Amino acid sequence: MSDALIRKLECYEPLSDDDRRWLLSVTKRVRVVGPHQDLVQEGHNPSDVQVIVEGFAVRYKITREGRRQIFAYLIAGDFCDLHVAILKSMDHSIGTVATCRVATLPPEAVSEITVNRPALARSLWWCSLVDEGTLREWIVNMGQRRPAQRIAHMICELNVRMRVVNLTNSDTFIFPLTQAEIGDSMGLSTVHVNRSLKELRQAGYVSIRDQKIVIPDIQRLIEFAAFDPAYLHLKAQRIVA
Amino acid sequence: MSDALIRKLECYEPLSDDDRRWLLSVTKRVRVVGPHQDLVQEGHNPSDVQVIVEGFAVRYKITREGRRQIFAYLIAGDFCDLHVAILKSMDHSIGTVATCRVATLPPEAVSEITVNRPALARSLWWCSLVDEGTLREWIVNMGQRRPAQRIAHMICELNVRMRVVNLTNSDTFIFPLTQAEIGDSMGLSTVHVNRSLKELRQAGYVSIRDQKIVIPDIQRLIEFAAFDPAYLHLKAQRIVA
DNA sequence: CGACTTTTTGACCTAATTCAACTAATGTGG
DNA sequence: CCACATTAGTTGAATTAGGTCAAAAAGTCG
């Protein structure tokens, strides 16, 4: 279960047995957080670093006008707040969508990494650079792609990330967002998300049913979405598609 | 001139005299790059880290369909490619807009920082976290704000950043982007940028003329744009507005 | 079962794009 | 320095993509 993080990190560089063991031990204690709960809130300053072990969460911000923008999806193996050591306060919130199991690394674990485990530190740095690349691609998506293509692109990305942590090997995975939440992610109205999904479904690109995404032909979807996974910076090409 | 970087870093934490001197010496040699040149290209893997000393550049990506999305503005004191040490290849390009003076840090300088200058390393980490926050806010901007507000928000942000590096103290600064380039930044057509700018100008919020932005009343603009600079994580509040 | 949320659909409307023309600026070579 | 070429900004009109509103259908959960 909690080896998602390890699987992910090893897409960058193999870990030593010792680092692997240490990570397992330090992420062993998890708590369960129900759906639609905040893991961290904007303005707060958590002292611990949280890692999603299982479930689905999102990074989001609420504007003064009360509109919500979601700008990242967090799945097993993803860090919530690596920034903690440097920044004084969160500039956005993180909320669960589905029930999550969350591990908590105390500040000592973080300093253990930075001081004594340089290989791990490099891997975490890689994570945060990939997150940054993912944000950039998100912007490209919102700015330059038509709605259906936009959703398709997001699905292609998630499919790759799910494969990395072994949550799919057949282009089918759990996706608990509502259409309203997809809309808040992509800057679209709920109604238009619904119509775009219908378009995708009717064209045979994807279907979302019972909180599950099914991609009948991933190559066709990649083509349609103009998806190029370079920004995920995976070493292992086999994972991509 | 080249103290822009120092000014910026000191928004996070004061530097030691030694670090300050070292930074000055290492960013002393600059080259001049004309307008509309790439400083780094997608897919390439530069070995040096570049810092903008003067001028204006953008991070961008071209989609398969040939559409350009700009997702970051680089001004004096900004790093081009801190990722170099970790990632094998750039997932986007950086191009000048106006003529730039660019300093180049060789790989040795980077390892000097990570190995012997932990305070500097922390400051650079802070830079990269702020960049990340800026990307998130960019997404909020594109997804949730109306065009005129979106442009206004971008201007508020730039105004703060310009003040940090001493490129304005009177809410007036050089802004060399064309309306087409603003459009590519914000996901808007050129025509609509033009109309939104007209709206902003007529309402007395901002005017862009001769490559210069003038903000008559920054508080009014901040209010209109719903701008909250928390995501820039500046220690010195006086800088904000 | 009944309350509630989510999905789906239709009708209407507005915001934003596209197309096209024109003006204003900027730059270039003779 | 001027004539010409090129790029950038401005405006109007037509079109369309996407949003809003409203209501029904389907699914979820106590």
Q: What is the mean pLDDT of residues A83-92?
A: 88
Q: What is the pLDDT of residue A235?
A: 82
Rounded to an integer, what distance in angstroms lies between the CA atom of residue B218 and that of residue B44? 40
What pLDDT was estimated at residue B86? Answer: 87
- Selection from B154, B194, B176, B235 nearest residue B36 by Cα: B176
In this predicted structure, the answer to whether residue A33 has a pLDDT above a threshold of 60 is: yes
Burial of B170 (0-12, 13-18, 19+ CB in 10 A): exposed
pLDDT exceeds cutoff 60 at A148 = yes
The per-residue pLDDT for B235 is 82
Residue of A nearest to B123 (CA): A86
C-alpha–C-alpha distance, residues B8 and B51, integer Å: 12
Q: Which residues of A171-185 are buried (b: 16+ CB within 10 A; e: fewer)?
A: bebebebebebbbbb
The two structure tokens encoding residue B46? 């530069």
pLDDT, average across residues A161-169: 94
Query: Which nucleotide's C1' sits nearest to the alpha carbon of A196?
Result: D18
Q: What pLDDT score was predicted for residue B22?
A: 95
Cβ contact, residue pair B136, A92, below 8 Å = yes
Average pLDDT per block of 10 residues along chain B, 241 residues long: 86 93 92 95 93 97 96 97 86 96 93 92 93 98 98 98 94 97 98 98 94 96 97 74 53
Percentage of chain A with pLDDT > 90? 87
The predicted pLDDT at position A50 comes to 96
DSSP bridge pairs for B113: none
What's the pLDDT at B236? Answer: 64
Check whether A239 has a pLDDT greater than 60: no
Q: Rounded to whole angstroms, what are the CA distances from B147 to A34, B160, B214?
A: 37, 20, 19
Selecting from A63, A88, A132 the residue whose C-beta is nearest the C-beta of B144 gives: A63
Contact B142 A187 (CB under 8 A): yes
The pLDDT of residue A240 is above 60: no
DSSP string, B157-212: HHHHHHHHTTS-SSSEEE----HHHHHHHHT--HHHHHHHHHHHHHTTS-EEETTE
CA A67 to C1' C7, in angstroms, rounded, equals: 21
Neighbouring residues of B108: CB distance < 8 A, sequence distance ≥ 6:
none
Q: Does B61 touch chain A (CB under 8 A)?
A: yes
What is the arithmetic mean of pLDDT over A27-39? 94
Question: Could you give the 3-state DSSP secondary structure of residue A149?
Answer: helix
**Amino acid B238: pLDDT:** 53
With bands split at pLDDT 50, 70 and 90, how would you rate the model's confidence at A238? low
For residue A2, is pLDDT > 80? no
User: Which residues of chain B make contact with A92, given a CB cutoff of 8 A?
Assistant: 133, 136, 231
Q: How many Cβ atoms sit within 10 Å of the Cβ of residue A75? A: 22
User: Which token pair is B210?
Assistant: 């001769």
Read off the pTM: 0.95
pLDDT at B84: 79
